[in-house]
Amino acid sequence: MTLTAETTLEQGVATIAKAVGHPARVRIMRLLLAHDACYCGQFVDELGLAQATVSQHLKMLKEAGLIVGEIEGPRVCYCASRDRLTELHDLLGVLLEEAVEVDTRGCD
Q: Does residue 93 lie within any of the structural domains? A: yes
Tens digits of residue pLDDT in 10-60: 888 888 889 999 999 999 999 999 998 999 999 999 999 999 999 999 999
pLDDT at position 70 is: 92
Containing domain of residue 26, as a range? 10-97
Q: Does residue 106 lie within any of the structural domains? A: no
Q: Cα(86)–Cα(80) distance, rounded to whole angstroms? A: 11
The torsion of the CA quartet 73, 59, 53, 74, rounded to 10 degrees, works out to -10
Q: Does residue 102 lie within any of the structural domains? A: no
Q: Does residue 107 lie within any of the structural domains? A: no
Q: Cα(56)–Cα(19) distance, rounded to whole angstroms? A: 11
Quote the number of domains for the chain.
1
Q: Does residue 33 lie within any of the structural domains? A: yes
Q: Does residue 3 lie within any of the structural domains? A: no
Expressed in angstroms, the distance from the first to the final Cα of the chain is: 20
Closest CA to 91 of 3, 22, 13, 11: 13
Tens digits of residue pLDDT in 77-102: 999 999 988 988 888 888 788 777 75
pTM over 0.75: yes
Q: Cα(58)–Cα(92) distance, rounded to whole angstroms? A: 22
Do 38 and 78 form a contact (C-beta atoms < 8 A)?
Answer: yes
Specify the CATH number for the domain of residue 85. 1.10.10.10
